[in-house]
Structure 1
Amino acid sequence: MGSKARKVAIVGVGHVGSSCAYSLINQSICDEIMLIGRTPDRAYAQALDLSHCMDFVHSRTKIYTGSCEQCTDMDIVILCAGASVPGSKNRLDQADSAYAIHKPLIGRIMDSGFTGIFLTASNPVDVVTYIVWRLSGLPRGQVLGTGTSIDSSRLKTLLSEVLPVDPRSVQGYVLGEHGESQFPAWSHVTIGGKPLMDILTQHPQRFGHLKLAEIAHKTRDAGWEIYYRKGATHYGIGNALAYLVRSILNDDHKIIAVSAVLDNEYGQTDVCAGVPAIITRQGIKEILELNLSPPEQEQFASSCAIIRSAIGRIAWEL
């Protein structure tokens, strides 16, 4: 990552990839964005459309189309390519197609001499993050996924509506799979620094109606609520990607829930799952191990087992 200009490549120019590029441009996060798409005409059209934003933003971002072979000096490659499984309500059903899509892509990108950071958004994101790590051969800190960053944001938004407070005053994480086995770590959710569980205990008349299981369910299903009504989720995850890119390029050391390769953190190895991590210019500097309650530790282990099972079903050809 020795380039002076901040360069980001986005592979996949559909809803998520284009929304990510739009967020990057509007927030003036990087100097250059290279769009890589399966259909060159679509990638060109997206780049042209996005270039017309420049008169209305704080600083100019150079945006153009390219190929995997041109990723040599990119700081970050964002992976948004994917294919949904019609009728499925489980992201893990996409594991085989995700491997088929990413195997040639990662080979071509690594053959270009790329040594930067892979940031994955393609579903199932925990499985894809693991696939990219295995195929790239990069250190685990240089491969991360959006993971439960978007789920944690959804949790904060839901809590902010019922308490009510600004969602940025809510701190907490959804852990595990970005999918059906995820769970909020309620023991670590705070409102303005005060544990949520203390607030509920001390103010039963005000917040006795709050059903944590219902909020967890709504958090888990929020993506599907959007998907079945308009066919895609992309604004939230696009902004989450931009937030992560900014945190990396600015060496922010922010703590964000991302999909990370675990190496005995939380007692789990050789699997990717959503956990809070310190994000720096090198990618993941450190994974934070929360002191989970025994039920939460069981939930995390169960979620990792589900992800690991999906990884194990892939017909690997390394």
Structure 2
Amino acid sequence: MSKTIRKVGIVGIGNVGKAAASAIVHENIADELYLSDIDSERALGEAWDFADSIELTPSRTRVSAVPVEELAACDVILVSVTERKKVISSSRLELLKGSAAIAYDIVPKLKKAGFQGIYVIATNPCDIITYLFYKLSGLPRKQVIGTGTALDSMRLRRQISEVIGSIDPRSISAYMIGEHGDSQFAAWSHVTVGGKPFDEYEAENADRFGTIDRDNVEEAARHFGWEIHKRKGNTQFGIGNQLAFFAKSILNDARVITAASAVQEGEYGRDGLSIGVPIVLGRNGIEEIIHLNLNEKEQKSFNASADLIKKYIDQTLAEHEEPAGR
């Protein structure tokens, strides 16, 4: 009897990595979970701690701590590693230098070890680091995915739900598009409630909740992560569960539509960057990039966000180029 073993690895066992690992273990998403961290003793301690917890749950996930090269046998690698520094503003771009150095360290090791699975990247700035993983890994673009604006889109749906009242956020379709950062925006022209375009729904219910201040709703979704960070010093469970959701959707070939940071090859008129857009997520990674027909205002916002990401990608790649003649 043959049996497919579902293997997931996590690089970086800080707050986000631990939250992702907890969801994977206790939802029984993988048969084997491998933890890797620059602090190997910390990773081992976390693995042992999870082993203690499993007997009290329906899960039978086996958790091990391993060097990063041993993650090459995994189906999916979740990347939550980050430079340990204090974040002083809502801009994730200030993390770029340290995160880029980490990418240039670990991706060549995994490439040499023969990793052919799927990367899911939460390390910030997510869009830029996702593109670096794509360039350094040599993998097809469908196998390198950033969590991007997935969590931001969930926040947008929740904000809309709270404003209109009495509608579960899961019955609302809405996406934050662009950079996982300050230049992201809500694609209002594609928001629906129960399949009804939001403009129509709002007009029909004006006597109940009036006209919604869309700028306030969008701003709240854009900066909700920073509001969490200011109060507890990090974001953890939302993004950790998001990573676990991506792993589960890939392993189960769920073909679910979610926002994610995807490498562009002409979609939305752009290439040479990764940016948050809706995708179909399945066993092969990005099964399809969903192209939204943005209105003029939204396309302008998309281009501005893409230009910002591309600027930092080009700058980072130039900084790490080998000198001529070497």
**Normalised by the size of structure 1, how large is the TM-score?**
0.97
2:230 paired with 1:189: no
Q: 2:82 is matched with which residue?
A: 82
- 1:85 deviates by 5.0
Please list, as runs of the form range in 1=range in 2, the aligned pairs for 1:256-275 lying within 5 A after superposition.
256-275=258-277
Paired residue secondary structure (2:115)? coil
Paired residue secondary structure (1:58)? coil
State how far apart, in whole Å, the 1-side matches of 2:320 and 2:190 are. 37
- 1:209 deviates by 4.8
State how far apart, in whole Å, the 2-side matches of 1:185 and 1:50 are. 40
Per-residue displacement from partner, 1:15-68 (whole Å, max 9, x unpaired)?
000000001111111111100011111111111112222123222100010012
- The 1:132–1:312 alpha-carbon spacing in structure 2 relative to 1, beyond 3 Å, is same
Q: 2:144 is matched with which residue?
A: 143
8 A Cα contact 1:3 1:75, kept in partner: no
Q: 2:257 is matched with which residue?
A: 255
Paired residue secondary structure (1:71)? helix
What percentage of aligned pairs have identical amino acids? 40
Q: 1:303 is matched with which residue?
A: 305
2:238 paired with 1:236: yes
**What is the letter of the counterpart of residue 317 of structure 1?**
E
Please list, as runs of the form range in 1=range in 2, the aligned pairs for 1:150-229 lying within 5 A after superposition.
150-164=151-165, 165-229=167-231
**What is the letter of the counterpart of residue 99 of structure 1?**
A
Please list, as runs of the form range in 1=range in 2, the aligned pairs for 1:66-77 lying within 5 A after superposition.
66-77=66-77
Paired residue secondary structure (2:160)? helix
State how far apart, in whole Å, the 2-side matches of 1:72 and 1:223 are. 31
**What is the letter of the counterpart of residue 19 of structure 2?**
S
Per-residue displacement from partner, 1:88-142 (whole Å, max 9, x unpaired)?
3211122221111111100111111110001100000000100100110111000
2:320 paired with 1:316: yes
8 A Cα contact 1:71 1:113, kept in partner: no
Per-residue displacement from partner, 1:276-299 (whole Å, max 9, x unpaired)?
111111100110101111111111
Tell me the matched-pair count: 317
8 A Cα contact 2:148 2:179, kept in partner: yes
| 4+ residue runs over 3 A deviation | none
Per-residue displacement from partner, 1:136-168 (whole Å, max 9, x unpaired)?
011100000100000001111111222221111
Q: 1:48 is matched with which residue?
A: 48
Please list, as runs of the form range in 1=range in 2, the aligned pairs for 1:87-166 lying within 5 A after superposition.
87-164=88-165, 165-166=167-168
8 A Cα contact 1:261 1:271, kept in partner: yes
Paired residue secondary structure (1:113)? coil
8 A Cα contact 2:76 2:120, kept in partner: yes
State which drifts further: 36-45 or 206-215: 206-215
State how far apart, in whole Å, the 2-side matches of 1:267 and 1:281 are. 27
**What is the letter of the counterpart of residue 308 of structure 1?**
K
State which drifts further: 166-175 or 46-55: 46-55
**What is the letter of the counterpart of residue 221 of structure 1?**
H
Task: Give the unaligned 5+ runs of structure 2.
Answer: none
State how far apart, in whole Å, the 2-side matches of 1:294 and 1:131 are. 30
8 A Cα contact 1:147 1:274, kept in partner: yes
8 A Cα contact 2:40 2:67, kept in partner: no
State how far apart, in whole Å, the 2-side matches of 1:123 and 1:215 are. 24
Q: 1:286 is matched with which residue?
A: 288
Task: Give the unaligned 5+ runs of structure 1.
Answer: none
- 1:77 deviates by 0.9
**What is the letter of the counterpart of residue 69 of structure 1?**
E
- The 1:7–1:149 alpha-carbon spacing in structure 2 relative to 1, beyond 3 Å, is same
8 A Cα contact 1:117 1:142, kept in partner: yes
- 1:229 deviates by 0.6
Q: 1:16 is matched with which residue?
A: 16
**Normalised by the size of structure 2, how large is the TM-score?**
0.94
Paired residue secondary structure (1:273)? strand
State which drifts further: 56-65 or 223-232: 56-65
State how far apart, in whole Å, the 1-side matches of 2:183 and 2:131 are. 17
State how far apart, in whole Å, the 2-side matches of 1:58 and 1:132 are. 35
8 A Cα contact 1:11 1:35, kept in partner: yes
